Structure 1
Amino acid sequence: MSSAVRLIRNPQLTQAVDYAYGAAVDAPVRSLWLAGACPLDTEGRTVALGDYEGQAHQAMRNLRAVLEGEGAALTDLVRTTVYVASSDQADLVKVWNVYRGYLGGHDVPSTLLGVTVLGYDNQLVEVEAVAVLP
């Protein structure tokens, strides 16, 4: 599968970050605007209660499933936002490390946020995304 996404790395900015500074799409494309992927099982229950990493894994599996259902892959992502219900930076880093593990070398432009609360009972993680396909 060929991605329509070209990641932007500006040499005038630090290269010490593990994400691209932007993404460009230079051809006609189909866009996917995805709701936040949540750590829910097929019955709608929040999984991995109290476990930031476990919830991040489930959210990423759910995100990947939605993409694959549309003929897309994680490498078609052009922008993401990762929400973590915590004010502790260490919890955000745990989630980020799981998230980055799923994306491999596709260091899509992303924002990582600590938030007060998320929508489902016991939810700690949510990943929102936009993807484009050629």
Structure 2
Amino acid sequence: MTSVVRLIRSDSLADTPYAYAATAPAGSRLIFLAGACPLEDDGSTTAPGDYAAQAARCVETLRGALAASGAALTDVISTRVLVASTRRADLVTAWNVVEAAFGSHDVPSALLGVTVLGYDDQLVEIEAIAAVQGD
């Protein structure tokens, strides 16, 4: 199934590893996903202290939530990646995992360093909005 999401780029803006904007046609069904957290099936936090492993688990969780909604990563229209750190290197570590997962579907994204996230030992969370053909 082809995604309804259209990524928008601009030659007049700085070159970035993500699109500057995205649209979906009228009549699309929007899916607002809860923040994907790095939680194991037993509720424990994945790999305390490991930004990359937690980002990977967040992507896995995001994929599952999208599938349950009838969507896939290619249907995501925007993301917000939250990283509990004041170190740019930690943010980049998490971002690199997310960027690799999305591949050429480089949706508009925000990468934010935050002071704390909701679960014990949680370092990464990914919020997303997706768009699919209207039902």
TM-score band w.r.t. shorter chain: over 0.9
* Whole-Å separation in 2 of the counterparts to 1:11 and 1:60: 29
Instruction: Give the aligned partner of residue 77 of structure 2.
Output: 78
Stretches of structure 2 lacking an aligned partner (at least 5 in a row): none
* Cα distance per residue 1:1-41 (max 9 Å; x no partner): 211100000121122x1000000112311111001000001
The aligned amino acid for 1:39 is P
TM-score (norm 1): 0.97
**4+ residue runs of structure 1 moved beyond 4 angstroms?**
none
| Secondary structure in structure 2 of the residue aligned to 1:33 | strand
- What is aligned with 1:14? 14
Q: How many Å separate the matches in 2 of 1:94 and 1:117?
A: 17
Q: Which residue of 2 aligns with 1:32?
A: 31
* Structure 1 position 95 matched with structure 2 position 77: no
Distance in 2 between the 1:113 and 1:24 partners? Answer: 23
Distance between the aligned counterparts of 2:36 and 2:114, measured in 1?
Answer: 16
TM-score, with structure 2 as normaliser: 0.96
Contact 1:4 1:27 in 2 (8 A): no
SS in 2 for 1:96: helix
- Identity %, equivalent residues: 55
Alpha-carbon distance between aligned partners in 2 of 1:80 and 1:121, rounded to the nearest angstrom: 23
In the alignment, the residues of structure 2 paired with residue 10 and residue 49 of structure 1 have an alpha-carbon distance, to the nearest angstrom, of 39
**Distance of 1:54 and 1:36 partners within structure 2:** 16
Q: CA RMSD in A?
A: 0.7
Matched, 1:117 2:116: yes
What count of residue pairs does the alignment treat as equivalent?
Answer: 133
Q: Deviations over 1:38-78 (max 9, x none)?
A: 00011111011100000000000000011012221101000
